């Protein structure tokens, strides 16, 4: 049994946060089945424009529903402190470009820093699109000089282009939002999965052993 999950994520998307948390919590189990995880930073704004999609908060019906869905997701993924910051949405280009460089130059720290950026924005209410805020987050993992170097790389032409390339790759693979997952099973067949609530379908597609949600029978009440 083997396979690969390629997940296209953006820090501006709370559902990308949920997806990354869930994948990380299951990383060792997936590894035991020879399933590889590849996290790819992308620019969700570019995916929306390229696919013709619109953010849910711009559509009244979706905006009204999202408050229920987000509360359920917060409970399920065990991140009760998530809240939408006042400055939302952000232009996520800087942190996403920085993550592209970090994945290349500091692969061992990549996922941890991605989660820290999510945590800073969605739980601590910090605007990670601001260079000084992002530098503070990076300084927890790197020296002051390397944190500044990462910001410089994020603003350089090569890493601007690489984020563009990964965003186009996601679009070419059918993406219309984030999180977007491309899953390849042991037979080499690939299928797309959208969102943070399709993992049971992904496990099924990969042929992994998993347990479905089971509804229990009501217990009989004692009669007096």
Which ranges of the chain does DSSP label H, i.e. alpha helix?
Answer: 14-25, 27-32, 44-51, 60-76, 93-105, 110-122, 131-138, 144-154, 157-172, 199-206
Q: In this structure, are residues 42 and 178 in contact, taking their beta carbons and an 8 Å threshold?
A: yes
Cis geometry, peptide bond prior to residue 213 (ω within 30 degrees of 0) = no
How far out from the chain centre does Cα 86 lie?
21
**70 in Cβ contact with 14 (< 8 Å):** yes
Catalytic annotation, pick one of 2, 7, 13, 70: 13
Q: Look at residue 38 and give its three-state secondary structure.
A: strand
Q: What backbone torsions phi and psi does residue 166 show, to the nearest 5 degrees?
A: -70, -35
Angle between helix 157-172 and 144-154 (nearest 10): 60
Annotation marks residue 166 as catalytic? no
DSSP 156: S
**Gap between the Cα atoms of 190 and 194, Å rounded:** 13
* Rounded to 5°, angle at Cα 75 from 58 and 198: 70
Q: Which residues are catalytic?
A: 13
């Amino acid at each position: 049994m083997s396979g690969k999950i390629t997940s296209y994520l953006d820090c501006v998307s709370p559902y990308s946060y949920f997806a990354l948390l869930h994948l990380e919590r299951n990383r060792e189990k997936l590894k035991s089945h020879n399933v590889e995880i590849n996290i790819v930073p992308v620019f969700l704004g570019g995916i929306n424009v390229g696919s013709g999609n619109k953010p849910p908060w711009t559509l009244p019906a979706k905006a009204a529903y999202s408050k229920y869905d987000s509360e359920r997701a917060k409970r399920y993924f065990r991140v009760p402190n998530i809240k939408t910051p006042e400055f939302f949405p952000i232009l996520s280009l800087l942190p996403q470009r920085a993550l592209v460089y970090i994945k290349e130059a500091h692969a061992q720290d990549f996922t941890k820093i991605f989660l820290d950026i999510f945590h800073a924005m969605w739980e601590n209410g910090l605007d990670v699109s601001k260079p000084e805020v992002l530098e503070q987050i990076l300084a927890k993992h790197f020296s002051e000089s390397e944190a500044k170097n990462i910001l410089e790389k994020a603003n350089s032409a090569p890493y601007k282009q690489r984020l563009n390339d990964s965003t186009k790759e996601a679009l070419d693979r059918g993406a219309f939002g984030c999180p977007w997952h491309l899953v390849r099973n042991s037979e080499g067949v690939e299928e797309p999965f959208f969102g943070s609530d399709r993992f049971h379908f992904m496990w099924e597609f990969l042929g992994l052993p998993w347990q479905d949600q089971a509804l229990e029978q009501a217990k009989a009440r004692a009669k007096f």
